[in-house]
Chains A and B, each alone.
Chain A
Amino acid sequence: MKRFVAWAAFIGGCLYFLLPLVGMTEFSLKMRRGEYSFDAYAKVFEDPNFWATFGYSLTLAAATIVFGVLLVVPTAYWVRLKLPQARPVIEFITLLPLVIPAIVIVFGYIRLYNTSSVLPLTGSGLGTDILLTMGYATLALPYMYRAVDTGLRTIDVATLTEAAQSLGAGWFTILARIILPNVLVAVLSGAFLTLAIVIGEFTMAALLNRPAFGPYMQLLGANRAYEPPALAVIAFAITWGCMGLIQLVTRFSKHERAKA
């Protein structure tokens, strides 16, 4: 009886998650009347705006990841090593993007960095791209910080640092050659989550008027019938691909197996 309930709950859960996906995927294949086809996908891939916006978002995601890693890894490391009493404060700060809506953040940016401000970032394309990257980094902060902090928890940060120092290493060497390689899987988890966030983000990109993938999806969704679900399936595949990559990296990382 217990076994039956467990299986029923499992199957119920699977149906709950899978049915909408199956329905969406099936609908995306029905562009050609009376038969299944990949016409909607072909249309999406033929659209130069798809590649342009996807490429743009991908570039910004890469920039966001680099900036996020450079910001979060040293911060989380330093807090763990020298300022453990500041951890609750830092954790609270990193959680703020979850409670402050993106629209509030972006309006704050526009107000602070408009063309008549001291730092008129919105006055140029590059400036706005930088602003958008900072915005994305802010949105990804809760995920990136937690991923890196969890990674740091699995190693003895203080002793490894002292061991490296006693061997003559400076801070940069310690971070680059000891800490970062040992939390690489955690950093990659944070990076892939950042990628997923950036690819699907709409509010910031739309309000800063940048040609990103999020606004493109919205535009397509408002004007077409079959292409939007095809696009959603593609976006979903990208996200799952990222998750799979995290798993792969974890599995093939030799020293990570030791920690498991």
Chain B
Amino acid sequence: MAFLDLTNLEKTFGTNRVVKDFSLGIEKGEFISLLGPSGCGKTTVLRMVAGFETPTSGAIRIDGQEVTGHRPNQRNIGMMFQAYALFPNMTVADNVAFGLKVKGVPRDERQSRVEEMLRLIGLPEMAGRFPFQLSGGQQQRVALARALAPSPRVLLLDEPLSALDAKVRVSLRNEIREIQRELGITTIFVTHDQEEAMSISDRIVVMNGGIAEQVGAPFQIYNQPHTRFVAGFVGTLNTLAATVVSPEDGQVSVAGQTVTLAKKPIPAGKGDKVTLALRPEAVAFGRAAGREIVLPATIAEVHFLGSVIRLRVKVDGAIVALDTFNRPDQPPPPIGLATEISFSATDVILLPAD
């Protein structure tokens, strides 16, 4: 049994089933991200683990102990919130010491733990300050220290980086991951930012409509999406409509050409419509070595972004996005230019048709 075991969790608000038959096992020390769009049920799952929502059915076990019916203050779970949620009437040190005080930890022990936590988050000199005297990033660091101080069994992070500016987000997410690794604490991170999820997670749970569409390592989720939703939600995806020519030989017809895919046989019948999905980095502008499939295209849009030029080309009526590196000796191609794109058969993700 996994350290944190969620079994067949269901949550219904009135007639709205927000979480449907959600099961997940998380190993000790693992960093899991729940990723999905707004309303997909990721926060509800987190809140059920925290004890703020009671599951309509299903069970939650931590380290073999059933906690489904336990109140939030009986679960020994640390939590970070999007809105920091530091207690405004307390100093940084008092905030960090709060959980220890509630637990009845003696004063000396409490003080040394607070100092240890503040060192861990790199703010030992801020102990006497009030939350309003700190920046957003500092407040969230204090919130992390506060959540970790009572040595919780599980750490829950409810979109803790959403309220921060881009630069702080990146540095803080790396810090969170570093501290999580150092302490080896089992962590669930809720986010709708796929880059954030992919950069720090051991595994990602992609959620949609209350169910887990796919669970896997970031590399797996990105490169081998199981469903159209996962493929579309994680990263940018180009799609091309195709018709199966020979399922056994992996041949499809796309943009007036018959091409052979790496995946054989194709799980569809002859004449069936399928979708070929390609990540932008899998598509090259013009013919390129090692990319055996070549399709005619017309430049539709050119976005000069400095080091990168983002092109949007029209292939058989569909728009395909691809990036090329900027070269000072080679100006961006003009809009309307008839050209070619190329990609490898192994980079094609085959999805059912729309």
Contacts and interface: CB of A to CB of B under 8 A. Distances in A.
Interface residues of A, number: 24
B87 A160 contact: yes
Contacts of A258: 88, 130-133
Contacts of B85: 156, 159-160, 162-163
Nearest to B74: A168
B78 interface: yes
A162 B130 contact: no
Given A166-B72, A167-B99, A170-B73, A159 B89 contact: no
A182 B89 contact: yes
Contacts of B87: 160, 163-164, 178, 182
**By CB atoms of chain B within 10 A, which of A155, A162, A168, A257 has the most?**
A168
Contact of B50 (A162, A168, A169, A170): A162
Interface string B145-169: 0110010000010000000000000
A166 B50 contact: yes
B176 interface: no
Interface in A163-203: 163-170, 173, 177-178, 181-182, 184
A168 B133 CA distance: 26
- B contact patch SS: mixed
B154 to A, nearest CB: 10
Contacts of B133: 258
Contacts of B132: 255, 257-259
Contacts of B52: 162, 165
B131 to A, nearest CB: 7
A258 B146 CA distance: 20
Interface string B65-92: 0000001111011110101011111000
B102 interface: yes
B88 to A, nearest CB: 5
A33 interface: no
A2 interface: no
Contacts of A181: 89
Interface in B176-196: none
Nearest to A155: B88
Interface string B84-118: 01111100000000110011000000000000000
Contacts of A167: 73, 78, 98-99, 102, 146-147, 150
A224 interface: no
Interface string B188-222: 00000000000000000000000000000000000
B72 A162 contact: yes
Nearest to B131: A258
Nearest to B146: A167
A167 B104 CA distance: 12
A57 B74 CA distance: 45
A257 B143 CA distance: 21
Contacts of A165: 51-52, 71-73
A3 interface: no
B102 A168 contact: yes
Contact of A166 (B77, B130, B131): B77
Contacts of A255: 88-89, 130-132
Contacts of B130: 254-255, 258
Contact of B83 (A159, A166, A169, A170): A159
A159 B72 contact: no
A39 B133 CA distance: 53
A215 to B, nearest CB: 41
B77 to A, nearest CB: 6
Contacts of B146: 163, 167
A165 B295 CA distance: 59
A105 to B, nearest CB: 36
A162 B102 contact: no
A168 B79 contact: no
A181 B130 CA distance: 14
A169 B102 contact: yes
Contacts of B98: 164, 167, 169, 177
Interface of B: 50-52, 71-74, 76-79, 81, 83, 85-89, 98-99, 102-103, 130-133, 143, 146-147, 150, 156
Interface of A: 155-156, 159-160, 162-170, 173, 177-178, 181-182, 184, 254-255, 257-259
Q: List the 5 closest A-B pairs by CB distance, nearest first.
A: A258-B132, A167-B99, A163-B85, A165-B72, A181-B89
27 contacts: A156-B85, A159-B81, A162-B52, A162-B85, A163-B81, A163-B143, A165-B52, A165-B71, A166-B50, A166-B72, A166-B78, A166-B156, A167-B146, A167-B147, A168-B102, A177-B98, A178-B87, A182-B87, A182-B88, A182-B89, A255-B89, A255-B130, A257-B132, A258-B88, A258-B131, A258-B132, A258-B133
